[in-house]
Amino acid sequence: MKQTFSAYNIIQKKRDKEKLTKDEITWFIEGLTKGEIADYQMSALLMAIYLNGLDKNETVALTDAMLYSGKVLNFPEQYFIDKHSTGGVGDKASFILAPIAAACGVKVPMIAGRGLGHTGGTVDKIESIKGFKTDISLDDFVHLVKERGLVLIGQTGEIAPADKKIYALRDVTATIESIPLITASIMSKKLAEGASGIVMDIKTGNGAFMAKLSDAKKLAESIRQTGLRFHKNMMTVITDMSEPTGNAVGNSLEIIESIETLKGRGPSDLTELSLTLAGGMIYLAGLAKTHKNGIEQAQLALTSGAALDKFRELIESQGGDVNVIDDYSLLPKTKSTFNVLATKNGYITQIDCKSLGMHCVRLGGGRLKTSDKIDFAVGFILNKKCGDKIKKGDTLATIHCHDHQLDLARELGLEMSSKDIVIKAVKNKTKKKLIIEVQTKFAPKLKSKKRK
Ligand code: URA
């Protein structure tokens, strides 16, 4: 590495609350990617950034350096749009909104993540379908999105490799919850996929990384601004994650709920979330005049069955067993179930969403380390949600577990009924809002481009 800067001086500058230049940031990240900057130096810089922040220009410079640490794809046409979520519990909206958007003419190049901590991962969930390949090459990825309009793969080492290293260090140095670091991490990967616009679902509430709404708003602003600086059309949607999305939590259970939603029989919150985000993709793509019109098109694609057909095509084009759509017994399934019963009458006023996510992990449905193996069959169905009226003895949730896990299920069930699902005599005065804020910004360069 050409020694134009010193890692020590850069760390010292950020420690002392000074601004870093684009060249300093680029030099540091290039050094990390080549193995010439040590993990302990990167960790020190991460902690300095965590404590003292980065301004807009520094955040863009970090995103740029992480983006160009690997391959960068480019689909310049306006109708290539991706969606990303900051992660939550029971969030399976991608399986519904991506086929809806594709059925409406959007091309969706989706590189999704695996679950970590209490949150589930899109890639783990889709792998519940026998044969579905998520590790296809970037060449096949490009071919499939152009030919079929929809492709879904996992992170590859070729895309933003600096993020892989940095994320692993953040995970063990208590530096995850930083707005500039989250922005650069998410945006470096999303920008590398080459879509011309991105719909970002930013979760807030006790099951989200940004639990406080004020932080979610700051993250949304940071992500929008960074996307615009890279000439991307951006929509940020802040959505509630203070209870799981839909009712199913666990990999194959969530695939079943997604297919049910594509058949028009899904839970209302999951359906509303999927239509809002798909409508945003259609709007950003330039295929609808307004977001509202995008949502109307999305609704039509759902009710006509066109979105379900697109999902079938996605499974088929990536080697999966399409028969799962009509026969859920082809998905991994546990032999046993355990019902969690309400111990009193009243209304559900609060749910500890993060804790419920961790119960799924304890059953084996999620991972705490990236090397952990996933059990696709386990999880639970949450039968009751916030605001619901409850009678003593009602089934609050049904845990899907293996025979040898019945003691664990009993233990988790007790936690759910005594602590996680709060039942009070009086209903909350204010109803929870699922879609909290939508903001759209078109990058000037792309605004007038029309699909040929
Ligand atoms: N998801 C990411 O990809 N990166 C973060 O930093 C947080 C969520």
Q: By residue range, what is the domain housing residue 91?
A: 81-157+171-327+434-441
Are 252 and 136 found together in one domain?
yes
Indicate whether 283 and 413 sit together in one domain. no
Radius of gyration of the chain (CA): 22
Residue 102 within any structural domain of the chain: yes
List pLDDT tens digits, range 46-58: 999 999 999 999 9
Indicate if 170 belongs to the active site: yes
Which ligand 1 atom is at minimum distance from the Cα of 186?
3
Q: Which of 69, 85, 128, 185 is catalytic?
A: 185
Are 198 and 307 in the same domain? yes
Q: Judge whether 446 lies within some domain.
A: no
The count of other CB atoms within 10 Å of the CB of residue 142 is 16
Catalytic residue among 170, 232, 312, 359: 170
If one residue of 83, 185, 193 were mutated to test the ligand 1 pocket, choosing by the most ligand atoms within 8 A of its CB, it would be: 185
Shared-domain flag, residues 420 and 345:
yes
In a domain, 128, yes or no: yes
pLDDT at 370 over 80: no
Tell me which of 176, 178, 190, 200 to substitute to probe ligand 1's pocket, judged by most ligand atoms within 8 Å of the beta carbon.
Answer: 176
Within a domain: 2 = no
| Statement to judge: residues 234 and 109 lie in one domain | yes
> What is the pLDDT, as a whole number, of residue 118?
87
Q: Are residues 405 and 383 in the same domain?
A: yes
User: Considering only CA atoms, which residue is closest to atom 3 of ligand 1?
Assistant: 186
Q: Would you say residue 5 has pLDDT above 60?
A: yes
Distance between CA atoms of residues 206 and 204, nearest Å: 7
Look up the CATH number of the domain holding residue 142. 3.40.1030.10
User: Does residue 75 lie within any of the structural domains?
Assistant: no
Q: Which atom of ligand 1 is nearest to the CA of 113?
A: 3
pLDDT digits (tens, 9 = 90+) for 206-238: 999 899 999 999 999 999 999 999 999 999 999
Evaluate whether residue 429 is within a structural domain. Answer: no
Q: Specify whether 107 is catalytic.
A: no
Shared domain for 107 and 140, answered yes or no, is yes
φ, ψ for residue 115, nearest 5 deg: -70, 150
In this structure, are 264 and 412 located in the same domain?
no
pTM of the entire structure? 0.94
Ligand 1 pocket, Cβ-based, cut-off 6 angstroms: 86-87, 182, 185-186, 209
pLDDT band at 394 (very low <50, low <70, confident <90, very high): very high
Q: Is residue 59 part of a domain?
A: no
Using a 10 angstrom Cβ sphere, with 0-12 exposed, 13-18 middle and 19 or more buried, the burial of residue 300 is middle
Which CATH number characterizes residue 34's domain? 1.20.970.10
Residues 234 and 206 occupy one common structural domain: yes
Residues 129, 238: one domain? yes
Residue at 213 is within a domain: yes
Question: Does 180 share its domain with 295?
Answer: yes
The CATH number for 345's domain is 3.90.1170.30
**185 in active site:** yes
Q: Tell me the C-alpha distance between 47 and 50, whole Å.
A: 5
* Overall number of domains in the chain: 3
**In angstroms, what is the span from residue 182 Cα to ligand 1's centroid?**
5
Residue 448 confidence (pLDDT): 47
Q: Under a CB-based contact definition with an 8 Å cutoff, are residues 152 and 112 in contact?
A: yes
- Please give the mean pLDDT across all residues of the chain: 95
Q: Are residues 343 and 419 in the same domain?
A: yes
Residue whose CA is at the smallest distance from ligand 1 atom 8 = 86
